[in-house]
Chains A and B, each alone.
Chain A
Amino acid sequence: MNAETACALTARDYKSDLKPVWCPGCGDFSILMAITMAMADVGRPPEEVAVISGIGCSSRVPAYTSCYGFHGVHGRALPLATGLKLSRPDLLVIAAGGDGDGYSIGGNHFMHACRRNVDLTYIVMDNQVYGMTKGQPSPTTPPEWDSALVPGGTGLSPFHPLVIALAAGANFVARTFSGDAKGTAQTIVEAINHPGFSLIEILSPCVTFRPEEREWAKQVHPASVDATEDRARAARRVLTDDGFNTGILYRGNRAPYQPAFKPDDAAKVDFEAEFLP
């Protein structure tokens, strides 16, 4: 990317020509669009951006961008993104994936990424189901949802990612709806520009295994109050809302974790003296 084109980057410049494997109508399409719009807005050239994911329908997203990408193993997007960002603080690093990937198999990393507060933006496309493996309940699935693997439903109360993110120390917490690509894009821009670990939980209908989620379009509504800097207040709000409240819910001011990393290959590493008797 040369300087001339760099100042005129559009969403299209961040899209690869690979055709997504997603089902027609899947919420993830608009999220991909929102991500590319947000990147154009932020304006870092694609080679300075890395999109890191795990496994799932949603985790396919890196290769659909024109950035550097890593499609790793199921549940490990966050540690991979953490290692990249800590050793390459110059890059813009975005992690993305599904609710199964991030909250179930990757749940421990989710908590620790919030706590570690590395300057990452984490986009979770929450469809409250395992799409890729064809319809099993995820940690955010309602307890009564019937499926072949768990007949009659799990009977378990859903995991509350936003409250957990707040409790664990995330520095920016937002919820958006995939149907609102523009609003989602703006939120992603804000998340990228906010230092530290940012979680954007995006309600993204799985039209194939949870067709009833199409109704979400009617249920979502913008949060009636602005983002707070008070972690406890944010937690109370998201615990008591209806789950369809969208917008930026929390902006913290914890300093990100970014220890110095400036290896000097020229400098001879010499620790011989300490081995002398």
Chain B
Amino acid sequence: MNQIETTLDRPVTNVTAMPRQSLSIVMLGSGGSGVMTAAEILLRAAARAGYYGLMTKSFGPQIRGGEAAAFVTLSTKPVEIQGDRVDLLLAIDWKNAERFAGELLLGANTLVISGEAGAELPQIVTEPDPRLEEINLKTLTRSHKGTRPNMVALGTVAGAIGLPREAVAALIGERLEKKGEAAMAQGLTALDLGYEEAANFSLSKLAAAPTEAARWIISGNQAAGYGAMRGGVRFAAAYPITPATEILEWLAPRLQKAGGLLVQAEDELASINMIIGGSFGGSAVLTATSGPGLALMSESIGLAVAAEIPMLVIDVMRGGPSTGIPTKSEQSDLNIAVYGLHGDAPHVVTAPNSISDCLFTAQWSTHLAEAMQVPAIMLSDQSFGQALGIVEKPAEQAFAARREVAEAPGEDYQRYALTASGVSPMALPGTPGGQYTADGLEHAESGRPSSGVADHNQQLDKRLRKVVDYDYGDHWAQIEGDGPAAIITWGSTTGPVREAMRRLDPDGKRLRLISLRLISPAQPKALAAALQGSEQILVIEQSQMAQFFGHLKAQFDLPAMADLYARPGPQPFRADEITAKLEEWLS
């Protein structure tokens, strides 16, 4: 079973015995060494061969050209997190490799291949006493004109794990086609050199790939952008910020292709107001940011609540507070997203639970925002946003922006009319007879400013009613298993919890996963129903101050017996960490 292979360090003699369901690989190198290119080709080739996979990246602090590590886990089953132990580490060189201490989980069974023959290995690599091997990338590439070390490295890794050469060769061919035949031939020579070297090393191969079902390679940020576009978003404004920028850079040319537009604003105060303007004009709109940007936007998100302007705000969370750790994940923006608006300001907060769920949740959130004329904040995070996953092709969803619009407002048209659902038809500029002034000032049904008791109460009620009474269906949470021990979690913590559950309870008899996709408004009844029959509850989250736990206690009637496992980033949760926690909790 998978768990045993990855959690236990087996005796060295056994390592080549059995094919493995899953392998974890790290490729290391300094700036310009091309590790990321090599790792991405490896991932793509594996996808074409029918495997699942995940690639995450780690970089030094240099803006450009620093040391880089690519972490790739390939598997016959869906992968949401990196493996517990590195099976194969290949370093093109060892410059500044110490910086990845804490991220490189090496063990006695790790095969380390040094591409710098004769080089002294950093202590963080030698200390766990892994199997050490060498290849001499320098002499190999020197003796074959035009070959590059990263392509030899790619061939070595692909060969060592047993990836079919054809899949890798085809990709190299496609990539180098434009550079001419000579370049292509050199690329393939390099690949073959690597495959030849790999024959010298013993490592378990990957088990045969499952059926070649349709797979996608996608990052959480791309998935979020595409989901929003599928939901109908055509206008966006934003200010760049790590780790959200890729959403914007993915969207900008594609919005253009769809006749839409992304504007780079002067700051987040501007971007949020630009999309408010766009939405007032009738477009489904989006901005994407991270914690610092969300903080700047919060006053205007409140305006959108009061003026009933639909919009999607994606927060790709990173370590906080302040500038924090921009390139690492944390689930610590929940409070600002849910409770960060001034006044009583009901709005929607959602969170995807996997890379491919970024697509679903962004599309759904756009739909919710439009349907309820309310801002929706989607809390994604760095570990989804900047990771590339080989995933099953996400299913098509029917959700699309559908705003209730006053097409032909009559004499008595009132923009903020009190309706049963709380949603009032919105007149779009250009529509005769629908003129009103959208206002952050409290207003009467007509939209006219009013500080009267009745108007304030009625408008507050209407704005609350429309989000609280809305039927969110089954999408409020992802529920798996129905055992008596229930784990409540959210966002990117879901993946490691799922993996730990697979290990401890493959039949889903003892454990139950409830991963919330709708963070706010709270769904206490739905949670109570999902908890039916549970005897034990554990909340798991990546936040020092246990923001999610506090939210569940305050808003979801979380039973008092619920236990908590919360810790901050920047280290992602590992399956072995959660597995150990669960074992301790269950015993």
Contacts and interface: CB of A to CB of B under 8 A. Distances in A.
Interface of A: 1, 18, 45-48, 50-52, 62-63, 66-73, 75-76, 78-88, 90-91, 108-109, 111-112, 259-265, 267, 269, 271-272, 275-277
B270 A109 contact: yes
A169 to B, nearest CB: 13
Given A263-B259, A267-B258, A68 B276 contact: no
A112 B429 contact: no
A221 to B, nearest CB: 36
Interface string B180-216: 0000000000000000000000000000000000111
Interface string B25-68: 00000000000000000001101100000000000000000000
26 contacts: A47-B433, A48-B429, A62-B437, A66-B435, A68-B429, A69-B435, A69-B436, A69-B438, A70-B276, A70-B280, A72-B273, A76-B269, A76-B270, A76-B273, A76-B300, A79-B274, A83-B235, A83-B275, A83-B277, A83-B280, A83-B281, A87-B281, A263-B234, A264-B258, A269-B258, A275-B217
A90 B282 CA distance: 13
Contact of A108 (B230, B263, B267): B267
A32 to B, nearest CB: 14
B38 to A, nearest CB: 16
A255 B278 CA distance: 22
B273 A259 contact: no
Given A47-B431, A79-B273, A72 B261 contact: no
Contacts of A88: 281-282, 429-430
Given A84-B281, A261-B259, A63 B230 contact: no
Given A47-B430, A72-B440, A88-B282, A83 B273 contact: yes
A84 B277 contact: yes
B352 to A, nearest CB: 16
**Pairs A-B, 5 closest by C-beta atoms:** A83-B277, A83-B274, A69-B437, A277-B47, A84-B277
A111 B267 CA distance: 12
A82 B440 contact: no
A276 B261 CA distance: 25
A91 B278 CA distance: 12
B436 A68 contact: yes
A106 to B, nearest CB: 9
A277 B258 contact: no
Interface string B410-450: 00000000000000000101111111111111000001110
Contacts of A260: 256, 259, 261
Given A63-B437, A109-B270, A86 B261 contact: yes
Interface of B: 44-45, 47-48, 214-218, 222, 226, 229-230, 232, 234-235, 237, 254, 256, 258-261, 263, 265-267, 269-271, 273-278, 280-283, 285, 299-300, 302-303, 307, 390, 393, 427, 429-441, 447-449
A264 B256 CA distance: 11
B215 A277 contact: yes
A70 B218 contact: no
Nearest to A47: B432
B235 A269 contact: no
A80 B258 contact: no
A70 B273 CA distance: 11
B285 to A, nearest CB: 8
Nearest to A267: B258
A211 B432 CA distance: 41
Contacts of B260: 261, 263
Contacts of B437: 51, 62-63, 68-71
Nearest to A61: B437
B237 A83 contact: yes
A27 B303 CA distance: 28
A18 B447 CA distance: 11
Contacts of A80: 273-274, 276-277, 280
B280 to A, nearest CB: 6
A48 B433 CA distance: 11
Given A18-B448, A68-B436, A264-B258, A81 B277 contact: yes
A63 B449 contact: yes
Contacts of A83: 235, 237, 263, 273-278, 280-281, 285
Nearest to B409: A47
B430 A71 contact: no
Contacts of A72: 273, 276, 300, 303, 307, 438, 440
Nearest to A75: B269
Which of A52, A67, A79, A261 has the largest number of chain B CB atoms within 10 A? A79
- Interface-centre pick from B259, B281, B285, B436 (highest chain A CB count, 10 A): B281
A84 B309 CA distance: 13
A63 B267 CA distance: 28
B305 to A, nearest CB: 12
A1 B430 CA distance: 11
A80 B82 CA distance: 43
Contacts of B280: 50, 70, 80, 83-84
* Most B CB within 10 A of own CB, among A48, A86, A276, A277: A277
A46 B435 contact: yes
B423 to A, nearest CB: 19
A255 B217 CA distance: 42
Contacts of B256: 259-260
B307 A261 contact: no
A71 B438 contact: yes
B340 to A, nearest CB: 15
Contacts of B259: 260-264, 267
B174 to A, nearest CB: 11
Contact of A271 (B235, B254, B277, B439): B254
A42 B301 CA distance: 34
Max count, chain B CB within 10 A of own CB: residue among A69, A263, A272, A275:
A275
B95 to A, nearest CB: 31
Nearest to A60: B449
Most buried by A among B45, B215, B276: B276
A85 B283 CA distance: 12
Contacts of A272: 216, 393
Contacts of B237: 79, 83
A271 B277 CA distance: 27
A73 B270 CA distance: 11
Of A69, A73, A83, A108, the most chain B CB neighbours within 10 A belong to A83
Given A69-B437, A73-B440, A87-B261, A50 B429 contact: yes
B318 to A, nearest CB: 24
B277 A269 contact: no
